[in-house]
């Protein structure tokens, strides 16, 4: 056996093993495979859920001149998942510095698009949140969320270099500007998500307790102000608190009632795939209220499994970060985990009638191209910021050996 053959066999032997030097092999062994598995599991659940909700939405949105097939939204979601998986893996392979740079540029672009939405945006169901035409429509706020997290993490991490930098005030101003742009659409649900993410991140960054208590004290003030001065918030809060109210809030009340009825109609084990009937009276069965469709066809036990998977994802991230020393990676990863957790919690709360209707999708499960691509970018960034080489962390003496 000549040397060339021996070298070739050695390379093939290492393929797929811990010693695989290829970019894909290095990525596979350094990535948090549990997080990746949880994300893929949610995508798989989402495809099943969209297949269950698609017939109801196809009937609702078909007209005299336009007929949708029962699985129209399912096949489109398959396309979006197929397009999103390479994005997720590609972003997760980025070095931390490059991932941060991409996010900062992405945040600037998305904020510019948010400014343009009220002028050139497309109106759907009374809200102007999208830019583009047909299949090319995108929702800038969906893509902004992961980029916003990374941008805030970078700004807050600068405090470790210079204590005098007013990073909290700068990020508060950025969050406030984004909130104003979102409320103009109007999009009260996304406004809440951005606010929750920012509050969680400044808390993790170590802002003094008195400041955190002051910010929490402003929450009820902000809600009262939103109720008095912001018509969208007032309508939805009235519909939630006063179910018998007529007028604009009646439609929101109808949606939450329909969602609750659909969720509970399947009992603990559900009617079985395709067996649901109450879902045909549910608006947005494939998007905002897909959790209710899961409840009807697969049962409350399946809903509990979905909730547990989201909880496992968040807990996994925070456990992973217990020994993280880099302030930027700590803040960025924890902020992305809060984004996924908060959005899932609000979506499930709306479906169960515990919160007013907000038009909030369930991450990785609800139908939507912008949502799936943006969530895949966010998960890719999360995997990039939690990626570690276990051999470098194996022993506290590694640094000593490398110094010799």
Cα dihedral 386→389→395→396 (10° resolution): -50
* CB within 8 Å of 20: residues ≥ 6 apart: 14, 26, 28, 29
| Residue 332 pLDDT > 70 | yes
What pLDDT band is residue 233 in, cutting at 50, 70 and 90? low
C-alpha dist (Å) from residue 193 to 14, 64, 68, 113, 313: 45, 38, 33, 19, 18
The distance of Cα 66 from the centroid of its chain, to the nearest Å, equals: 32
For the segment 98-133, what is each residue's pLDDT rounded down to a tens digit?
A: 999 999 999 999 999 888 888 777 766 666 777 775
Q: For the residues of 126-181, what is the DSSP string, one character each?
A: TEEEEBSSGGG-B-HHHHHHHHHHHHHHHHHHGGGT-TT--HHHHHHHHHHHHHHH
The predicted structure's pLDDT at residue 324: 84
Nearest residue to 72 via CA among 84, 55, 60, 48: 55
At how many degrees (to 10) do helices 188-204 and 140-157 cross? 20
Q: Tell me the C-alpha to C-alpha distance, in Å, between residue 131 and each of 117, 138, 141, 161.
A: 6, 5, 11, 39
Q: Rounded distance, CA 77 to CA 365, Å?
A: 10
Residue 291 CA to residue 289 CA, distance in Å, equals 5
The token duo for 347 is: 């979506």
Backbone phi and psi for residue 66, each to the nearest 5 degrees, phi listed first: -140, 115
- pLDDT digit string, tens, across residues 15-71: 555 556 666 767 777 888 999 999 999 999 999 999 998 888 888 877 767 788 888
- Mean pLDDT calculated for residue range 293-317: 93
State residue 47 phi and psi, 5-degree precision: -65, -40
Computed over every residue of the chain, the mean pLDDT equals 82
Residue 211 pLDDT class (50, 70, 90 cuts):
confident
pLDDT in tens, 265-293: 888 888 888 887 888 888 888 888 899 99
Rounded to whole angstroms, how far apart are CA atoms 143 and 102?
12
- Phi, psi torsion values for 129, nearest 5 degrees: -125, -5
Residue 365 confidence (pLDDT) above 90: yes
Residue 256, pLDDT > 50, answer yes
Cβ–Cβ under 8 Å, residues 295 and 270? yes
Q: What is the pLDDT of residue 60?
A: 82
What's the average model confidence in pLDDT over 219-242?
A: 68
Contact, 84 vs 372, CB < 8 A?
yes
Q: Structure pTM?
A: 0.85
Taking the C-alpha atoms of residue 238 and residue 256, their distance in angstroms, rounded to an integer, is 13
Check residues 252 and 51 and name the one with the higher pLDDT: 51
Instruction: Using the predicted structure, report yes or no on whether residue 355 has a pLDDT greater than 70.
Output: yes
The pLDDT tens digits for 78-90 are: 999 999 999 999 9
Confidence of residue 322 (pLDDT cuts 50, 70, 90): confident
State the Cα angle at 113 between 338 and 155, rounded to 5°.
45
The residue that leads in pLDDT, 395 or 170, is 170
In this predicted structure, the answer to whether residue 247 has a pLDDT above a threshold of 70 is no
What pLDDT is attached to residue 111?
92
Token pair for 332:
């960025």
Name the least confident of 92-106, 198-212, 250-264.
Answer: 250-264
Tokens for 229?
Answer: 């001065």
pLDDT at 151: 95
The residue whose two tokens read 């895949």 is 376
| Lowest-confidence segment of 139-153, 162-176, 213-227 by average pLDDT | 213-227
CB 288 within 8 A of CB 50: no
* Stretch 357-378: mean pLDDT: 88
From 231, 156, 146, 148, select the one nearest 188 (Cα to Cα): 231
pLDDT value for 218 = 75
Least confident of 1-15, 116-130, 233-247: 1-15
Give the chain's largest Cα–Cα span.
86
């Amino acid at each position: 056996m000549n040397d060339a053959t021996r070298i070739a066999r050695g390379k093939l032997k290492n393929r797929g093993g811990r010693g695989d030097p290829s970019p894909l092999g290095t990525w596979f062994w350094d990535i948090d495979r549990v997080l990746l598995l949880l994300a893929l599991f949610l995508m798989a659940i989402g495809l099943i859920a969209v297949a269950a909700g698609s017939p109801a939405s196809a009937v609702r949105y078909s007209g005299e001149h336009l007929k949708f097939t029962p699985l129209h939204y399912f096949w489109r979601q398959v396309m979006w998942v197929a397009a999103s998986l390479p994005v997720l893996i590609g972003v997760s392979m980025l070095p931390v510095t490059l991932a941060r740079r991409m996010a900062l540029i992405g945040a600037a672009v998305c904020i510019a698009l948010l400014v343009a939405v009220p002028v050139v945006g497309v109106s759907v169901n009374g809200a102007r949140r999208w830019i583009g035409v047909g299949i090319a429509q995108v929702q800038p706020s969906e893509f902004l969320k992961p980029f916003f997290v990374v941008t805030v993490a970078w700004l807050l991490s600068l405090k470790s270099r210079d204590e005098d930098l007013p990073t909290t005030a700068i990020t508060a101003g950025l969050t406030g500007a984004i909130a104003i742009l979102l409320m103009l659409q109007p999009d009260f649900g996304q406004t809440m998500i951005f606010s929750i993410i920012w509050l969680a991140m400044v808390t993790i960054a170590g802002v003094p307790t008195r400041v955190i208590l002051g910010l929490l004290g402003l929450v009820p003030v902000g809600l009262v102000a939103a109720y008095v001065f912001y018509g969208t918030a007032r309508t939805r809060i009235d519909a939630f608190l006063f179910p018998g109210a007529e007028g604009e809030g009646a439609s929101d009340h109808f949606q939450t009632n329909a969602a609750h009825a659909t969720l509970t109609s399947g009992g603990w084990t559900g009617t079985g795939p395709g067996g649901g009937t109450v879902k045909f009276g549910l608006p947005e069965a494939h998007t905002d209220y897909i959790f209710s469709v899961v409840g009807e066809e697969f049962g409350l036990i399946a809903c509990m499994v979905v909730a547990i998977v989201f909880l496992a994802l968040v807990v996994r991230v925070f456990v992973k970060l217990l020994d993280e020393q880099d302030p930027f990676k700590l803040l960025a990863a924890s902020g992305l985990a809060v984004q996924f957790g908060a959005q899932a919690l609000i979506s499930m709360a709306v479906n169960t009638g515990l919160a007013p209707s907000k038009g909030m999708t369930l991450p990785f499960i609800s139908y939507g191209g912008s949502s799936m691509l943006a969530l895949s970018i966010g998960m890719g960034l999360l995997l990039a910021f939690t990626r570690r080489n276990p051999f470098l962390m194996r022993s506290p003496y590694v640094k000593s050996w490398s110094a010799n």
